[in-house]
């Protein structure tokens, strides 16, 4: 379904939100400087912005965040940077470094995802900056962390997927442990690491409220991905690990449906939906044995499901209380009743027309944390922020532009 039709016909109806929610967001008053680019750092900073923080994005003059693309902005960039203000500063110049340091002196949180050592080259590393702002919360996101023999290795999300053991664990879970590892177009490590960084910053802010001290948070993409495979890590420590469980899609007439049978109650509900009470008594499918006989179990389910459409199968299973779902494509989400009911998208506009980006996946009962409806152009707020934050006059700002320190 085309976005334009959805925006015109469905509902981004948030007119009632203000009637029941306070205008102040949970992080109102918090000041954040976002030196990060691409995905992990920017999504962390955007979530802080959604929750009310003032976020200033520090970008490189001329190019800015790589996700801007050749047009200078993109819808992917908007997803990760809505609600922020942009200032373009050349951090390779001493004057630019001084400007950044002065901005940090007024900040509560700094986020950066350069390779370890780069911020030190700029004189903006935590050890240096904590002398300027002792209570600063400084969050560094990197592929392998700020310490250890891999500290200088370059990393993107697929590297973290491979290094963490996740790819092999994922491949093995598909029943083909020796198969070629998967091709990745979905940056799990970036999104997961950004979420961990978001949580760690909240914890550090609470700690600062108790102690008055700042904190350097070191978030590793590799270790973030390891958090996804606890079962596999535990199994790797056993000489004879138990058979690994796995949830498999079942075949229906027009595709697949995902079914999760975890508890005995789930099993009873499934047998009720299929009108197959005999399966409950089948020793092959008792708890503890079912994983060893998973293919036979799936065959029994599919002898029932293969004559049904995905929607029919999901309806019958759901009515019997079986955890299940049809498979949605991304373009199914724009008209999905659950997504619409929760106002999960915010509407934006660019030179190509209207589009939506997803709000934070959590909501507060007392405040509206919907994502802002605009993302910044490169350096859009440079002059404004130099006046507002550093009290520079027009002549001083003009000189900085002439010297190509700012854009």
Q: Mean per-residue pLDDT for 82-102?
A: 98
Q: What is the pLDDT of residues 220-258, one digit of tens each?
A: 999 999 999 999 999 999 998 876 667 899 999 999 999
The half-sphere exposure of 247 on its side-chain side, counting CA atoms within 13 A, is 11
Task: Output the pTM of the full model.
Answer: 0.92
Q: Mean per-residue pLDDT for 29-42?
A: 98
The half-sphere exposure of 164 on its side-chain side, counting CA atoms within 13 A, is 28
The total number of structural domains in the chain stands at: 2
pLDDT at 69: 95
- Please provide the distance, in angstroms rounded to a whole number, between the alpha carbons at the two ends of the chain: 40
Closest CA to 38 of 13, 87, 74: 74
Does residue 105 fall inside a structural domain? yes
pLDDT at 174: 85
Question: Looking at the structure, do residues 8 and 141 belong to the same domain, yes or no?
Answer: yes
Question: Looking at the structure, do residues 74 and 102 belong to the same domain, yes or no?
Answer: yes
pLDDT at 143: 98
Does 10 have pLDDT greater than 60?
no
- Model confidence at 2, in pLDDT bands (50, 70, 90)? very low
Does residue 391 fall inside a structural domain? yes
Question: Looking at the structure, do residues 57 and 177 belong to the same domain, yes or no?
Answer: yes
Of 332, 360, 379, which residue sits at a domain end? 332
Of 303, 332, 361, which residue sits at a domain end? 332
The answer to whether the beta carbons of residues 77 and 86 sit under 8 Å apart is no
Q: What is the pLDDT of residues 249-303, one digit of tens each?
A: 999 999 999 999 999 999 999 999 999 999 999 999 998 888 889 999 999 999 9
Does residue 28 fall inside a structural domain? yes
Beta bridge partners of 88: 59
Closest CA to 102 of 68, 64, 147, 56: 56
Alpha-helical runs (H) found in 92-220: 94-104, 118-121, 126-129, 157-163, 166-173, 188-211
What 3-state DSSP class applies to 251? strand
Does 17 have pLDDT greater than 90?
no
- Model confidence at 14, in pLDDT bands (50, 70, 90)? very low
DSSP class of residue 396? H
The span from the CA of 222 to the CA of 145, in Å, is 8
Does residue 238 fall inside a structural domain? no
The span from the CA of 83 to the CA of 300, in Å, is 51
Does residue 407 fall inside a structural domain? no
Question: Looking at the structure, do residues 311 and 352 belong to the same domain, yes or no?
Answer: no
Does residue 73 fall inside a structural domain? yes
Does residue 244 fall inside a structural domain? no
Question: Looking at the structure, do residues 183 and 61 belong to the same domain, yes or no?
Answer: yes
Q: What is the pLDDT of residues 109-160, one digit of tens each?
A: 999 999 999 999 999 999 999 998 999 999 999 999 999 999 999 999 999 9
Does 348 have pLDDT greater than 70?
yes
Q: What is the pLDDT of residues 54-76, one digit of tens each?
A: 999 999 999 999 999 999 999 99
Q: What is the mean pLDDT of the chain?
A: 93
Q: Mean per-residue pLDDT for 26-35?
A: 98
Closest CA to 406 of 111, 154, 106, 86: 86
Question: Looking at the structure, do residues 274 and 387 belong to the same domain, yes or no?
Answer: no
Question: Looking at the structure, do residues 372 and 392 belong to the same domain, yes or no?
Answer: yes
Tokens of 65: 């965040």
Question: Looking at the structure, do residues 324 and 387 belong to the same domain, yes or no?
Answer: no
Question: Looking at the structure, do residues 190 and 67 belong to the same domain, yes or no?
Answer: yes
Does 22 have pLDDT greater than 90?
no
Question: Looking at the structure, do residues 122 and 61 belong to the same domain, yes or no?
Answer: yes
pLDDT at 23: 67
The answer to whether the beta carbons of residues 252 and 306 sit under 8 Å apart is yes
The span from the CA of 368 to the CA of 51, in Å, is 8
Of 311, 332, 353, which residue sits at a domain end? 332
Domain that holds residue 198: 3-231+342-402
Question: Looking at the structure, do residues 177 and 102 belong to the same domain, yes or no?
Answer: yes
CATH number where 368 lies? 3.40.50.10540
Does 18 have pLDDT greater than 50?
no
Does residue 306 fall inside a structural domain? yes
> Could you give phi then psi for residue 326, rounded to 5 degrees?
-70, 170
Q: What is the pLDDT of residues 167-179, one digit of tens each?
A: 999 998 887 878 8
Question: Looking at the structure, do residues 392 and 262 belong to the same domain, yes or no?
Answer: no
Q: Mean per-residue pLDDT for 9-21?
A: 39
Alpha-helical runs (H) found in 217-293: 221-226, 230-235, 264-274, 278-281
The answer to whether the beta carbons of residues 74 and 67 sit under 8 Å apart is yes
The span from the CA of 222 to the CA of 150, in Å, is 11
pLDDT at 262: 92
CATH number where 306 lies? 3.30.1540.10
The span from the CA of 57 to the CA of 44, in Å, is 12
For 382, residues 6+ apart whose C-beta sits below 8 A from its C-beta are 86, 87, 88, 89, 406, 407
């Amino acid at each position: 379904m085309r976005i334009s039709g959805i925006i015109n016909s469905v509902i981004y109806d948030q007119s009632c939100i203000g009637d029941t929610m306070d205008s102040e967001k949970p992080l109102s008053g918090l000041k954040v400087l976002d030196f990060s680019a691409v995905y992990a750092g920017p999504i962390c900073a955007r979530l802080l912005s959604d929750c009310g923080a003032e976020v200033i994005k520090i970008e490189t003059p001329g190019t800015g965040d790589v996700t801007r693309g050749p047009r200078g902005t993109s819808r992917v960039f908007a997803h990760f940077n809505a609600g922020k203000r942009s200032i373009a500063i050349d951090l390779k110049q001493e004057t630019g470094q001084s400007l950044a340091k002065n901005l940090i002196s007024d900040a509560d949180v700094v986020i950066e995802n350069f390779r370890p050592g780069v911020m030190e080259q700029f004189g903006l590393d935590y050890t240096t900056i904590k002398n300027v702002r002792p209570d600063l919360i400084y969050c560094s996101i990197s592929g392998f962390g700020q310490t250890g023999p891999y500290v200088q290795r370059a990393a993107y999300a697929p590297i973290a997927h491979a290094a963490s053991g996740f790819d092999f664990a994922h491949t093995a879970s598909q029943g083909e442990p020796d198969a070629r590892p998967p091709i990745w177009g979905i940056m799990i490590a970036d999104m997961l690491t950004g979420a961990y960084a978001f949580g760690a910053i909240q914890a550090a802010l609470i700690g600062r409220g108790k102690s008055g001290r700042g904190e350097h948070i070191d978030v590793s993409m590799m270790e973030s991905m390891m958090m996804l495979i606890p079962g596999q890590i535990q199994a790797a420590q056993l000489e004879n690990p138990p058979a690994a469980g796995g949830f498999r899609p079942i075949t229906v007439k027009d595709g697949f449906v995902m079914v999760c049978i975890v508890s005995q109650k789930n099993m009873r509900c499934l047998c009720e939906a299929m009108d197959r009470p005999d399966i409950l008594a089948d020793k092959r499918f008792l708890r503890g044995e079912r994983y060893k006989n998973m293919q036979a179990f799936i065959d029994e389910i599919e002898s029932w499901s293969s004559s049904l459409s995905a929607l029919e199968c999901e309806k019958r299973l759901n009515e019997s209380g079986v955890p299940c779902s049809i498979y949605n494509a991304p373009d199914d989400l724009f008209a999905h009743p659950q997504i619409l009911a929760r106002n999960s998208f915010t509407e934006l506009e660019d030179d190509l027309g209207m589009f939506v980006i997803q709000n934070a996946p959590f909501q507060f009962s007392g405040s509206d944390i919907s994502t802002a409806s605009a993302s910044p152009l490169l350096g859009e707020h440079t002059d404004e922020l130099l006046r507002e934050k550093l009290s520079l006059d027009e002549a001083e700002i003009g000189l900085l532009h002439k010297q190509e320190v700012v854009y």
